[in-house]
Structure 1
Amino acid sequence: MRTAAWEPDAATVAAANVTAMAAERGLDDYASLWRWSVEDRAGFWS
């Protein structure tokens, strides 16, 4: 298994636009955000 070359710290994740977008939609984690983005492409890109 490969290891990541870099992972953001908690402060960077908290300040990220993608984190805010997920929170606005009530999505708790990346897997939920990904699932929403593929199940509702029109909503994701609007």
Structure 2
Amino acid sequence: MATGKRRNQKESPEEELDRLLDELELTQEQREFIESMREDKGDPCEE
């Protein structure tokens, strides 16, 4: 049964990502790395 997979159809992509990351039970180091990638929204061609 697929209960709980799409509990809230109105959640934003960011909220969905946060929920999925919580379900992964990541280490603090992994969480910090992912957060740093999410915050780095600069142009990849810009150095």
**Could you say which structure has the higher helix fraction?**
1
Same fold by TM-score, threshold 0.5 exceeded?
A: no
Please say which structure displays the higher CA radius of gyration.
Answer: 2
| TM-score between both structures, scaled by the size of structure 2 | 0.28
Higher relative contact order (CA 8 A, sep 6+): 1
| TM-score between both structures, scaled by the size of structure 1 | 0.28
